[in-house]
Amino acid sequence: MLGIDSRAARSTWTAALVVLALWLVYLVRSTLLIFILAVLFAYLLAPLVNLLDRLLPTSPTRTPALLLAYVLLVGLVAVGAIVLGTKVVEQATQLASVFPQKFQGLVDSFQANVPDSLKTEVAARSNDLFAALPQFGLKFLTLASNLIYVVIIPVLAFFFLKDGAAIRDHVLTLVEAGPRHKLLNDVMADIHLLLAHYMRALVLLSAVAFAAYSIFFSVLGIPFGILLAALAASLEFIPTLGPLVASAIILLVAAVTGGHLLPIVIFIVAFRMFQDYLVAPYLMGQGVELHPLLVLFGVFAGAEVAGVPGAFLSVPVLALARVLYLRVRHTRISRAATQGSGGGGET
């Protein structure tokens, strides 16, 4: 009557709700990130909880298995901090004390054989590098001030592990029985398998990287080997970009501290081929099938949007989008095929 089209009004209202939802997600992005990390941590701990749940006497809940799993986890973290943490901190302290002087000596020897214009540029870049070190220190202190999340995330993961099945069933009850209910059930099952495989694969890839780097550095007698191996293992959690950054840092430290560059380069190339083309595809399985260009785009875009957490979460987000698209597409094709065969039967 007033010249307002009902279909356009519904479309506008739906678009407004979507924009509002995205705005609310942006406002609570920090809290949402904590819950996402808690879910991923729960997937990481789930195999141990399931094993203990099968071994322990029959119990109406998973609480005993969860408590025992957390006790084992705390013990493992404590042993790792005592055995490896002290060595990493000690080597990091030593590297911080000798790196500036050795780096300056490397720059001076390099400048002796280059034109004056390039000397000026190298000196400026070096000064920028050392001027930025205090900023990185402040960022580290800021990160250390958020160590409360190290406690919050396992607590949230405890509830996800304890009530995950009930939460899933409650979400399914929100959709009436029918094609949409089946689609939601299939999508949730695919996401469950994807996240489980992805998190376990990341941990195993990190463990393989630490073992390989630490053994190689120990055999070759490279200074700060445990520190560099721990750095390579931690950056393994950031796909594609993380290993590249780790390789660059390892080569820089080796060059400054007098390490053997050629054997290190040969080892890094050989290990990356082994890790990226043999170990990673086997561990990832069929869940994460993304083109390397798409992975690089996701890592850079995620880092630009949300920093290190965005780079870490970029690949699972892209994989989830792929799983959702394939499942919806498969459902539409199956429905069209069913309708087509039904129509053919009537004629």
Domain range for 197:
175-336
**303 contacts 252 by C-beta, under 8 angstroms:** no
Q: How far is CA 133 from CA 99, 100, 122, in A?
A: 12, 10, 17
Judge whether 111 lies within some domain.
no
Tell me, yes or no, whether 295 lies in a domain.
yes
How many domains are contained in the chain? 1
Tokens of 103: 């780096």
Give a yes or no: residue 332 inside a domain. Answer: yes
For Cα atoms 285, 290, 294, give the angle at the middle one, nearest 5 degrees.
Answer: 155
Walk along the chain (347 residues) in steps of 10 and give the mean pLDDT of each run. 64 84 82 86 88 78 84 84 79 77 63 58 56 48 54 87 87 83 85 85 90 90 87 86 87 80 91 86 67 78 77 83 82 76 51
Query: What pLDDT sits at residue 191?
Result: 86
Q: Has residue 196 been placed in a domain? A: yes
**Can you state the percent helix, strand and coil of the chain, rounding each to 5?**
85, 0, 15
Residues 103, 117: Cα–Cα separation, whole Å: 20
**Residue type for 37, please?**
L
Instruction: Please report the pLDDT score of residue 94 as a whole number.
Output: 78
**Is residue 251 in a domain?**
yes
143, HSE (Cβ side, Cα atoms, 13 Å): 9
Residue 202 lies in a domain: yes
Give which of 184, 183, 154 is closest to 168, Cα–Cα: 184
CA–CA separation, 43 and 21 (whole Å): 27
Contacts of 258 (CB under 8 A, 6+ apart): 102, 223
Phi first, then psi: give them for residue 100, nearest 5 degrees: -55, -45
Which pLDDT does position 8 carry in this prediction?
72
Nearest 5°: the CA angle 103, 104, 107 is 90
- Using alpha carbons only, give the angle 64, 67, 70 rounded to the nearest 5 degrees: 150
Structure token digits, residue 118: 């390039």
Identify whether 213 is part of a domain: yes
Could you tell me the pTM of the whole model?
0.73
Closest CA to 179 of 321, 325, 333: 333
Cα 307 to Cα 30, 212, 262, 314, 316, distances in angstroms: 12, 28, 33, 11, 16
Residue 150 covered by a domain: no
Tell me how many degrees the CA angle 244-249-250 measures, rounded to the nearest 5.
Answer: 95
pLDDT confidence of residue 59: 67
pLDDT of residue 212: 93
